[in-house]
């Protein structure tokens, strides 16, 4: 599995990463992150595509081999990576919202930090 994201308005970081997948990819709608709260907070996640006018695309989580942790869950999205927004306030996806941000991809150690869309 390859994740390739060029620097863009959503995500300034470009990345080209190769992972050894262990299981199939599944659509994911929410992730729990610990950056802003040590107890963890849930966030909506979507893939971000190459045009602002194009609606967000599906984000996927896939189990991969991780040499340091054994197994991990990589969350990836569109050509321009992932976009995150808090559960509250409820707002549309936007590049100009101060509550939202983009990342190239996300690696999580625990499946309990994922809420699948299917």
The model's pLDDT over 68-107, given as tens digits with 9 standing for 90+, comes to 768 999 999 999 999 999 999 889 999 999 999 999 999 9
The model's pLDDT over 36-75, given as tens digits with 9 standing for 90+, comes to 889 999 999 999 987 655 668 999 999 999 877 689 999 9
Q: In terms of C-beta density within 10 A (0-12 exposed, 13-18 middle, 19 or more buried), how is residue 47 classed?
A: buried
Please tell me the predicted confidence (pLDDT) of residue 69.
67
**For the whole model, what pTM was predicted?**
0.91
Between CA 106 and CA 81 the distance in angstroms is 9
């Amino acid at each position: 599995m390859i994740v390739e994201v060029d620097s863009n308005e959503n995500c300034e970081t470009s990345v080209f990463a190769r992972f050894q997948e262990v299981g199939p990819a599944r659509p994911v709608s929410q992730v729990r992150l610990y950056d802003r709260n040590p107890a963890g907070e849930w966030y909506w996640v979507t893939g971000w595509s190459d045009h602002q006018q194009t609606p967000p695309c599906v984000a996927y989580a896939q189990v991969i081999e991780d040499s340091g942790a054994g197994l991990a869950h990589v969350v990836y999205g569109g050509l321009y990576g992932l976009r995150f927004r808090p559960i509250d306030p409820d707002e549309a996806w936007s590049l100009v919202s101060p509550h939202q941000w983009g990342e190239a991809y996300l690696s999580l150690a625990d499946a309990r930090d994922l809420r699948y869309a299917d």
